[in-house]
Amino acid sequence: MIHARNLTKVLRDGSIESTILQNVNLDIEQGEYVVILGPSGSGKSTLINIIGLIEMPTSGELFFMGHEVSRLKDRQRSNLRRGGIGFVFQNFGLIDELNVYENIELPLKYLKYSKKERQDKVAKVLSKLQVSHLKHYFPKQLSALQKQLVGIGRAIITNPDLIVADEPTGNLTSACGNKIMEVLSSLNEEGFTIVMATHSALEADRGQRVIQLFDGHVVTENIKNRL
Amino acid sequence: MMLNHHIKVAIRGIRKQGVYALLNIFGLSVGLVLGLFVILLVRHELSYDSSFTHNSRIYRVATEGILGNNNINSATSPMPLAVMLREMDDVEEVVRFIPGANNVVSYEDKHFNEDGFMFGDSTFFNLFDFKFLEGVDSVVFNAPRQLVVTESSAYKYFGRIDVVGESLEREGINYKIVGVCEDVPGATHFQFGFVASLSTIDEILLNKADSAYLEDWKNDWLYLNCYTYLKLKDGVESDTFMDKINQQKDKLFVPQVQKVVEDEQAGNSIELSFFAQNIKSIHFDSHLDGELRVNSKPIYIKLFVFVAIFVLLTTCINFMNLTTAKLRVKYQEVGYRQLVGASRTQLIAQFLVEALVYGLGAMFIGMVLLELMLPFLNQFFGLNLEFDFFRGWVDFFGILVILLFVGLLAGSFPAFFFSGRKPGKLISGSYKIGKSGFVVRGLLVASQFGVAMFLVVVATAMWWQINYVRTNDHGFDSENVIVVERGHAVRNNLEAFKSELKKIDGVEYVSACNSLPGDDHFQGAFRISNGKEERVHMLPINYIDEEYFKVLGLQLKAGRFLSDELGDSLGINLNIAAIKKLDLRKPLDEKLEVYGNRNWSLSTVGVIKDYHFESYFTEIRPLALMLLPEKMRFEYILIKKGSGTGLDMQAVRSVWGNYSEGAPFVYSMLTDRINGLYDDDVRIAKIMSVFALLSLFIALLGVIALVAFVIEYKSEGIAVKNILGATRQLIMTQVFSMYGIYVVLGVVLASFPAYWAIQAWGSSYAYFDFVGGFVFVFWALVLMLLSFIATFIQAFRGVSLRPVNS
Among B658, B648, B585, B592, residue whose Cα is nearest residue B624? B592
Q: Is A42 helix (H, G, I), strand (E, B) or coil?
A: coil
| A178, part of any domain | yes
Q: Do the interacting molecules here have an ipTM over 0.85? A: yes
Element (H, E) at B508: strand B507-513
Contacts of A110 in chain B (CB under 8 A): 2, 340-343, 346
A-chain residue closest to B9, CA distance: A97
Q: Distance between CA B774 and CA B778 in Å, rounded?
A: 6
User: Which residue does chain B place closest to A140, by CA atoms?
Assistant: B16
Q: What is the pLDDT of residues B114-132, one digit of tens each?
A: 989 999 999 999 999 999 9
To probe the interface with A, which of B11, B17, B339, B431 has the most A CB atoms within 10 Å? Answer: B339
Please, what sign has the CA dihedral across residues B503, B508, B509, B510? negative
pLDDT at A202: 84
Chain A contact set for B5 (CB, 8 A): 102, 109
d(Cα B508, Cα A164) in Å, to the nearest integer?
Answer: 100
* Backbone φ, ψ for residue A171 (5° rounding): -110, 20
User: Does any domain span residue A62?
Assistant: no
Report CA Rg, chain A: 17
The whole-number pLDDT of residue B378 equals 84
Which distant-in-sequence residues (6+ apart) come within 8 Å of B751 by Cβ? B453, B457, B776, B780
| Chain A residues touching residue B332 (CB < 8 angstroms) | 93
- Which residue of chain B has the CA closest to A47? B424
Tell me if A197 is assigned to some domain: yes
Q: How far does the CA of residue A222 sit from the closest CA of chain B (Å)? A: 28
Question: B735 CA to chain A: closest CA distance, Å?
Answer: 26
Distance from CA of A158 to the nearest CA of B (A): 10
| Confidence at residue B718, expressed as pLDDT on a 0 to 100 scale | 66
Contact A87 B339 (CB under 8 A): yes
The one-digit pLDDT tens for each residue of chain A (227 residues) are: 889 999 999 988 777 888 889 899 989 999 999 999 999 888 888 999 999 988 889 999 999 888 888 888 888 888 888 888 999 998 898 988 899 999 999 999 989 899 999 999 999 999 999 999 999 999 999 999 999 999 999 999 999 999 999 999 988 998 999 999 999 999 999 999 999 999 888 888 888 899 999 888 888 777 654 43
Provide Rg for chain B, Cα atoms.
34
Domain ranges of chain B: 55-285, 447-472+676-806, 481-675
Scored b (16 or more CB within 10 A) or e, B188-197 reads bbbbbbbbbb
Asked if B337's CB is within 8 angstroms of A115's CB, the reply is: no
Please indicate, yes or no, if residue A10 is contained in any of the structural domains.
Answer: no
* Candidates A74, A81, A111; nearest CB to B339: A81
* Contact (CB<8Å) B1/A49: no
pLDDT at B805: 45
| Contact list, B428 vs chain A (CB under 8 Å) | 45
Q: Give the structural domain span for A163.
A: 30-57+73-226
Pick from A54, A98, A110: CB nearest B343: A110
Number of structural domains (chain A) is 1
Picking from B16, B346, B424, the nearest residue to A54 by CB comes out as B424
- Picking from A39, A164, A147, the residue whose alpha carbon sits closest to that of residue A95 is A147
Residue A13 in any domain: the answer is: no
Distance CA B82, CA B93 (A): 10
Counting as low any pLDDT under 50, the low residues of chain B are: 801-806
Q: Does residue A21 sit within a domain?
A: no
Flag if B423 and A54 touch (Cβ within 8 Å): yes
Query: Domain holding A93: CATH number?
Result: 3.40.50.300
